[in-house]
């Protein structure tokens, strides 16, 4: 089955851009301020403009992920329109939650900088943990959709005939691990002692599956998009005029 090279290339480039922005904003910058609530506030104040740049990086990552979903819809619509629509819906829902949740992060940054002069002297000490928890919970809620969109992505890859079937199974495995993490956070906090060992093993597999899924999907999209076209290969007619 032929496919739209341009859509694959756009999806790969936008997905790669999203990954770069997420790594900078969510892993590098937020990793630098990690710690308990008091330590986190102190480190945020010390980073100055870097924390704001990380905030902006995460937002740009969300925008790039929306663009990725739009390109994936165009690529996979001829394969199965229903699953392609579901992919876009799940990405849009996750981005909406995550984007709005950044407002909590912005409040935390302002509290760390002492921007709310009207608060009582000790006001920031008791209100900061509330917004830190709101931000963390919001990220976990969005995480449910970060997993859900990988399910239709995996199904579409398996049904496509032009993508590696192994990639489809890895995407579906990553979906399952995302949802296990989501359920663990909201239903098993803290987890029972009997589940600590199995969960530790699951966390290691979880990381491997997510990394393989994300890097594998980006790599295949870029390879498929920049692949040398054979004579007569072009955009599939069935994809033209896609609503």
Q: Which has more pLDDT, 110 or 242?
A: 110
Residue 35 has pLDDT above 90, yes or no: no
**What average pLDDT does range 3-32 have in this prediction?**
93
Q: What does the DSSP assignment read for the chain?
A: ----HHHHHHHHHHHHHHHHHHIIIIIIIHHHT-SSHHHHHHHHHHHTHHHHHHHHHHHHHHHHHHHHHHHHHHHHTTT-HHHHHHHHHHHHHHHHHHHHHHHHHHHHHHHHTT--TTS-TTHHHHHHHHHHHHHHHHHHHHHHHHHHTHHHHHHHHHHHSSS-HHHHHHHHHHHHHHHHHHHHHHH-SSPPGGGHHHHHHHHHHHHHHHHHHHHHHHHHHHHHHHSPPPTT--S-GGGTT--
Q: Which residue has the higher pLDDT, 231 or 46?
A: 46
Looking at every residue in the chain, the average pLDDT score rounds to 85
For 91-148, the pLDDT digits (tens) are: 999 999 999 998 888 888 888 877 666 665 555 566 878 888 888 888 889 989 999 9
Model confidence at 238: pLDDT above 50: no
For the cut 90, the answer to whether the pLDDT of residue 31 exceeds it is no
- pLDDT tens digits for range 172-187: 999 998 888 888 877 7
> For the residues 206-226, what does the mean pLDDT come to?
90
pLDDT at site 239: 43
């Amino acid at each position: 089955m032929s496919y739209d090279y341009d859509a694959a290339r756009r999806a790969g480039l936008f997905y790669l851009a999203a990954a770069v922005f997420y790594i900078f904003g969510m892993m590098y910058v937020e990793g630098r301020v990690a710690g308990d609530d008091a330590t986190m506030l102190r480190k945020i104040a010390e980073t100055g403009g870097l924390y704001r740049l990380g905030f902006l990086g995460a937002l740009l990552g969300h925008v790039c992920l929306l663009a990725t979903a739009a390109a994936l819809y165009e690529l996979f619509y001829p394969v199965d329109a229903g699953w392609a629509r579901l992919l876009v819906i799940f990405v849009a829902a996750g981005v909406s939650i995550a984007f709005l949740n950044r407002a909590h992060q912005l409040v935390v940054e302002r509290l760390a900088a002492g921007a709310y002069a009207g608060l009582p002297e000790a006001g920031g000490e008791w209100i900061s943990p509330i917004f830190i928890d709101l931000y963390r919970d919001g990220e976990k809620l969005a995480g449910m959709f970060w997993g859900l969109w990988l399910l239709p992505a995996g199904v579409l890859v398996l049904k496509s005939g032009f993508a590696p079937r192994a990639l489809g199974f890895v995407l579906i495995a990553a979906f399952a691990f995302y949802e296990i993490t989501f359920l663990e956070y909201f239903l098993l906090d803290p987890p029972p002692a009997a589940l600590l060992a199995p969960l530790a093993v699951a966390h290691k597999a979880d990381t491997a599956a997510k990394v393989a899924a994300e890097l594998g999907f980006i790599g295949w999209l870029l390879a498929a998009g920049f692949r040398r076209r054979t004579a007569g290969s072009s955009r599939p007619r069935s994809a033209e005029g896609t609503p």
